[in-house]
Amino acid sequence: MNVMQLFSLKNKVVLVTGGAGNYGRSITEGLGEAGATVIIASRNIEAIEKVSADFRAGGWDVHGMQVDQADKASVLRLKENIIRQFGKLDVFINNAVSRPMKGYNAPIEQFDESMRVNATGMMDILREMTGLIIQSGGGSVINISSMMGMYAPVYSNYDGIPGMGDIAPDYCFHNAGLIMLTRFMAKTHAGKNIRFNCISPGGLFNNQPEKFVENYCKKVPLGRMANNDDIKGLIVLLSSDAGAYINGENILIDGGLYA
Ligand SMILES: NC(=O)c1ccc[n+]([C@@H]2O[C@H](COP(=O)([O-])OP(=O)(O)OC[C@H]3O[C@@H](n4cnc5c(N)ncnc54)[C@H](O)[C@@H]3O)[C@@H](O)[C@H]2O)c1
């Protein structure tokens, strides 16, 4: 097949959780540009509808739906709505994240709250959407983890910045687990025409304090933080037939920081 056809996502229905967030918007844009029908889902329906209307105005086929992944009934409602409106699901980008824990010594209840969304709820929506993709004839799941699920924090990045540097352990813990879960899912669903991969991105530039950006960029061979385009190509590769033989993989995308 022609390589441009391999990368095409025409006629593919893709779900992106947290699709209105920082990385979520870049991911949605890349999928839309490759021709996919994209469903973006998160808790606040007004916010998600506003973002999807903006995407549609830009010419992409993007739809907003509500989900709270920590709520079983809400996950099942999302699944029913996808079936009712689109009849199938080809790709799931497991991207939503909640950050309720505010530092190493934060109350343990905040760790528990994080696990409800980022571990238990995440597992629930991952299993439900995997089932829907298999029922639809097969496809691809992409889990979004983080370089912080692979490597311990670099505390020197926060030197001289008041209010930064107290890293919450829940984020590293659930992102590390997601990398292993990706491999587990790839083996567990062997023979069902479904692939599972993970992307572990580095820090996305988001107007962080200048000192932090300076400390961070000094360590990156490419000399900069990630921008909004950096994740798009990999998302389209892993979602499309161009990545048809990539399965059970975790890909770090950090500008060479951990090379
Ligand atoms: N921003 C970065 O620099 C960075 C770096 C590395 C990895 N990542 C990863 O990228 C992914 C997205 O991160 P981000 O920084 O764009 O986050 P973000 O906070 O900008 O967006 C997260 C989204 O998840 C949604 N969400 C939160 N709780 C939810 C719930 N219970 N149910 C449904 N949706 C819920 C939010 O509404 C939001 O839309 C995460 O997996 C994160 O680990 C981000």
For the chain, list the domains and their CATH numbers: 3-253 (3.40.50.720)
Tokens of 82: 């996808």
- Amino acid letter for position 220: V
Residue written as token pair 């995440």: 122
Q: Contact, 206 vs 185, CB < 8 A? A: no
Measure Cα distances from 201 to 34, 45, 206, 241, 253 in Å: 21, 27, 14, 22, 5
Rg (CA), the chain: 18
18 alpha carbon – ligand 1 mean position (Å): 6
- Ligand 1 centroid from CA 22, angstroms: 7
User: At 65, phi and psi to the nearest 5?
Assistant: -140, 155
Local confidence pLDDT in tens for the 259 residues of the chain: 999 999 999 999 999 999 999 999 999 999 999 999 999 999 999 999 999 999 999 999 999 999 999 999 999 999 999 999 999 999 999 999 999 999 999 999 999 999 999 999 999 999 999 999 999 999 999 999 999 999 999 999 999 899 999 999 999 999 999 999 999 999 999 999 999 999 999 999 999 999 999 999 999 999 999 999 999 999 999 999 999 999 999 999 999 999 9
Q: Which residues line ligand 1 (CB under 6 A)?
A: 17-18, 20-24, 42-43, 67-70, 95-98, 117, 121, 144, 146, 175, 201, 203-204
Whole-model pTM: value is: 0.98
Instruction: Decide the pairing of beta strands 37-42 and 13-17.
Output: parallel
Task: Compute, in angstroms, the gap from residue 200 CA to the centroid of ligand 1.
Answer: 13
Kindly list the distances between the CA atom of residue 36 and the CA atoms of 6, 45, 62, 132, 182, in Å, as whole numbers in the listed order. Answer: 13, 21, 9, 17, 23
Work out which ligand 1 atom sits closest to the CA atom of 20: 39
